[in-house]
Amino acid sequence: MATANKNLSNYDKTTIPDASNFRFGIVVSEWNDTITEGLYKGAYNALIENGVDANNIIRWDVPGSFELIYGCKKMQEQMVNAVIAIGSVIQGETKHFDFVCEGVTQGIKDLNVTAETPVIFCVLTDNNMQQAIDRSGGKHGNKGTEAAIAAIKMAALRDNS
C-alpha cells in the first residue's frame, strides 16, 4: 500500500515555492461527496496556508469523476496556473470501477501532455469506503493537501520554464 507509514498531509513548508501570485482551479466530483469534500478542504487549506489568496481559488463541481476530464479542460481556459482534479471512485461489484479509473487517469494524463496548464490528479481509487476516509482526512492524512502542494510546485515549474 502506497500510503502505509506515510501521512499525505505532511510536507516541508520551507521547500514550497511562493504561491501568493498564483491562481488555482479545483474541479470537484459530486459523487462520493463526503470524501471529495474532505479532499477539497485539504487542498483549499493547504493553498491558503501557502499564501494563495482565497479569491485566487476557483471551484467548479461536476457530477462524477469521469466528468472531471471535461471540467479540468474547461478550467485550463480560465487563466489559472494549475488545476486540481478531485474525485473518489470506490470498487463495486462490476467492472465499472476499472473503466472509470482508467478513463479518468488517461484523460487527465492527456490534458497534461496537450495543454500548458498542469492538472494534478487527486482522484482516490480505493477498494472500500474506509480506505477513502483514511486518505481524505483520516489516519493517512489528506490526499487533497498533497495535491495542493503538487499544484504549487507545478505552477512554479510552469512559471519558471
Based on the structure, what is the number of domains in the chain? 1
User: For residue 4, with 0-12 CB atoms within 10 Å meaning exposed, 13-18 middle and 19 or more buried, which class applies?
Assistant: exposed
**Residue 125 lies in domain:** 28-160
Q: Is it the case that residue 116 has pLDDT exceeding 70?
A: yes
The predicted model gives 143-155 an average pLDDT of 97
Q: Which of 6, 21, 96, 109 is catalytic?
A: 96
140 is catalytic: no
> Which H or E element spans position 126?
strand 119-126
Q: Is it the case that residue 83 has pLDDT exceeding 50?
A: yes
pLDDT confidence of residue 1? 46
- Is residue 14 included in any domain, yes or no? no
pTM here is 0.94
- Is residue 49 included in any domain, yes or no? yes
- Is residue 53 included in any domain, yes or no? yes
